[in-house]
Chains A and B, each alone.
Chain A
Amino acid sequence: MAKKDKKALEIPKQEVIKADEMERTRDRRCYIPKTDIYETEDEFILITDVPGADQDSVDITLEKNVLSINAFVDSEIPDGYDRIYSEYEGGDFQRSFRFSDEIDQNKIKAVVSNGELRLHMPKAEPAKAKKITVKAA
């Protein structure tokens, strides 16, 4: 069981597919960061893995309900060493999500720690609690 769990933890990195023949200006590989999104009563929480990026190298933009995350990672290769074994490639991270109007776009909070980006997106007032009670006739 333990062995199974260990294997389940690792998923190979997935590269970003080029759209419309457009190329990035940075000559680096770019990957899709693994992301969790969940919703509580008051907010949406997005957690994404951007190892190697800090608060200065993460760009988040929100335009017309599209949230774009760009993380630039500059991992210098250690000096005077030769690479002898490799299981992953370093690179940037890029991903976009489309959100509905129910997010209060002015109150989004973003924190990066330990290579993990965490976004708190509070729900807009009218979207909250729209519970309809059903009465028996």
Chain B
Amino acid sequence: MYSRFRVPSVWREMGQLQREMNHLFEATGGKRALGSPEFPAINLWANEEGQFIRAEMPGIKANDINIDVTADTLTISGNRSHDEAVENTRYHRQERRYGTFTRIVQLPFMVNTSSVEANLKNGVLDIKLQRAESDKPKKIAVKSE
């Protein structure tokens, strides 16, 4: 009797605790994933009309960035090039990373692919996407009789 019921109840309590913890973290606001493993890290804003995506991409020229938009995915790809090696160079520290990158973002709604605006300023990339007309929510009038 003792062990048979006591042990499962501990697991139940732990499960309950875990659910409460998850709930606590989820309750602190929108979806947060600070410290993404992918480059570039993005921030995303939205309203009914469209979306706004911002990414920090220091040291990358506009020519080295490719943006592709299909109906509901956005792909940011490119290359961060390294300084040309000079002879007899000695590194003291190297914290910045180089190479090619691809970032695919699943969008929450269909976008109008012909009206995408992308702007790179001081190493910060801003992308503005318009929601497709066909995808916009329709207002339904309620009639009274």
Contacts and interface: CB of A to CB of B under 8 A. Distances in A.
Interface of A: 2, 5-12, 34-41, 44-45, 47, 49-54, 75, 77-78, 80-90, 112, 114-116
Nearest to B80: A9
Contact of A9 (B34, B42, B101, B123): B101
B37 interface: yes
B91 A114 contact: no
B57 interface: yes
Main secondary structure on chain B at its contact with chain A? loop
Count class of interface residues, chain B: 35 or more
A83 B35 CA distance: 17
A67 to B, nearest CB: 13
B38 to A, nearest CB: 6
B47 A6 contact: no
Interface of B: 30-47, 51-52, 54, 56-61, 80, 83, 86, 88-102, 108, 120, 122-124
Contact of B95 (A12, A36, A83): A36
Contacts of A83: 30, 43-45
B34 A88 contact: yes
B47 A34 contact: no
B97 A114 contact: no
Most buried by A among B100, B101, B102: B101
Given A51-B122, A78-B52, A10 B47 contact: no
Given A6-B38, A39-B90, A88-B35, 14 more contacts: A10-B36, A12-B41, A35-B93, A38-B91, A39-B89, A52-B123, A82-B45, A85-B43, A86-B44, A114-B58, A114-B123, A115-B122, A116-B59, A116-B123
B30 to A, nearest CB: 5
Nearest to A3: B102
11 contacts: A5-B101, A38-B94, A39-B91, A51-B58, A78-B45, A84-B44, A86-B30, A87-B43, A88-B35, A114-B58, A116-B123
Contacts of B86: 40
